[in-house]
Amino acid sequence: MIKMNTICIIGLGYVGLPLACLCAEKGYNVLGLDLDKDIVEKTNHGISHIKDDVLEKKLGKLKGKIIASDNPDCLKEADIVIVCVPTPAIGSKPDLNPLENASKTVAKFLQKGQLVIIESTIYPGTVEEIVKPILESSGLKAGEDFFLGHCPERIDPGNKEFPIEKIPRVLACLSVEGTEKARKFYVSIIDAKINVLKSVKSAEAVKVVENTFRDVNIAFVNELAKSFDKMGIDLTEVIKGASTKPFGYMPFYPGPGVGGHCIAQDPYYLIDRAEKAGFEHKFLRLARKINEGMPEYVVSLVENALKAISKVENANIAVLGLSYKPDVDDIRQSPAIKIISMLEGKGMKLRIFDPFVKEKSNVKTLKEAVKNADLVILVTHHSEFIKSLTADFLKSNGVGMVLDLRNSLDKQSIIERGVLYNGIGR
């Protein structure tokens, strides 16, 4: 039995850091490799560079158990190398540079018997067409001298119900032996089911399909919001009604657009690869277009709201929320950023507040943001916003109107207190 107890994780971000903690908790020797010296430094001092209370606690307890470095030499010690580097999209094009660079680094130190797993989100064919040739430039052969496969990450930042160890996984390697080694490893760290698939391409397709599924369904309700705004139908009530069907329906909710490092770009990995194979995903592209067009729709809602309160000029406007989803500090591809730049581009002066993104807020408290605001725009429905933004709070702070882009406030009581209210699709 070849020893498989030293893991090297390349990329200590939203995916690699929780994985490193989990492997350390399960008794593996864990090496972390990251280009960012600050991340290396913090990790070695048991400090999380990501704001997440669970991760911060774990890292503190595991101080010294994860040896982080920016020197790829450490790869030589590893039995298993797990690549968790970003796979972003630049516009609508996948950007595999970080993955290619990481693969070149692995190739330089590749050892016989090593198992290399890509966890980053990639398009079907990436392992065989991109990673494998780079690793085999070492002279070692995949499936014989080393093992190579894919186990897509499924981290859901901030989700306490599904921490990494509770999330089922799919995996496949290029060889049966590699798949068995990978399966044994993941079974040893994950408490949920490890699903072995027949091909690496299937494993690659699973991740982009599950996230594209979300993108098209969000686009569906975003388009409904625009149509129901015109027809004066309350979409939230319609979604609630449709959700009473115990089968065949799954609720999604309209909003200011799709942010984050997964849903906003994973569809492009599928669209782009299919296009290279000669298939045009018109529907998936349209869904992306609808979601990317939501910030613009929001700006039209803001302009209509200002007209409704006859404050087209010099209105006091509060924008609440910068992160892409509630209760996280991540602003990557956040629609809030696009909305703010468009509103400021129209000369509007904004008071911006997000308790999770204080460094980009321009006021210090929620009260300071909303005090005597003609218009309060709720962009990210952080739990503390939903709790604080009651009808009394809004009224007593002299708010003229609320534009609730997440349909998450109590519309009825706000209107009854004499504060104007608009939602999105309600």
Minimum distance from residue 403 beta carbon to ligand SAJ (Å): 16
Distance CA 109, CA 93 (A): 30
Residue 321 interacting with ligand SAJ (CB under 6 A): no
**Does position 260 bind ligand SAJ by CB under 6 A?**
yes
Contact set for ligand SAJ, span 148-177 (CB under 6 A):
153-157, 159
Measured from the CB of residue 190, what is the shortest distance to ligand SAJ in angstroms? 14
- 262 tagged catalytic: yes
Residue with tokens 């790829």: 72
Write the DSSP symbol of residue 127: I
Q: Cα angle vertex 361, ends 264, 316, to 5°?
A: 105
Is 8 an annotated catalytic residue? no
Name which position in 58, 65, 273, 325 contacts ligand SAJ (CB under 6 A).
325
Total chain residues near ligand SAJ (CB under 6 A): 20
Taking contact as CB under 6 A, which single stretch among the options 47-55, 93-101, 209-217, 281-289 is the one that binds ligand SAJ?
Answer: 209-217
Q: Does 213 interact with ligand SAJ (rule: CB under 6 A)?
A: no
Nearer to ligand SAJ, 152 or 400 (CB): 152
User: How distant, in Å, are the alpha carbons of 18, 19, 239, 367 from that of 25?
Assistant: 10, 10, 42, 42
The amino acid present at 199, given as its one-letter code, is S
| Choices 47-55, 104-112, 250-258, 272-280 (CB under 6 A): range interacting with ligand SAJ | 250-258
Nearer to ligand SAJ, 335 or 400 (CB): 335
Concatenating the DSSP letter of every residue in 37-99 gives HHHHHHHHTT--SS--HHHHHHHHHTTTTEEEES-GGGGGG-SEEEE-----EETTEE--HHH
Cα 145 from Cα 54, distance rounded (Å): 38
Residue 253 binds ligand SAJ, judged by CB under 6 A: yes
Q: Which is nearer to ligand SAJ, 135 or 302 (CB)?
A: 302
Which entry of 207, 226, 325, 411 is annotated as an active-site residue?
207
Question: What single letter denotes the amino acid at residue 421?
Answer: Y
Report the sign of the C-alpha dihedral through residues 229, 230, 233, 238, in that order. Answer: negative
Q: Is 86 in the site for ligand SAJ (CB under 6 A)?
A: no
- Residue 211 interacting with ligand SAJ (CB under 6 A): yes
Site membership for ligand SAJ, residue 377 (CB under 6 A): no
Q: Which two tokens stand for residue 303?
A: 């302009």
Q: How many CA atoms lie within 13 A of 117 on its CB side?
A: 28
- Point out the catalytic residue in the list 181, 226, 262, 325: 262
Q: How many CB atoms lie within 10 A of CB 133?
A: 12
- Min. distance of Cβ 215 from ligand SAJ in angstroms? 8
Q: Which residues bind ligand SAJ (CB under 6 A)?
A: 153-157, 159, 210-211, 214, 218, 252-253, 255, 258-260, 262-263, 324-325
Q: Which residues are catalytic?
A: 207, 262
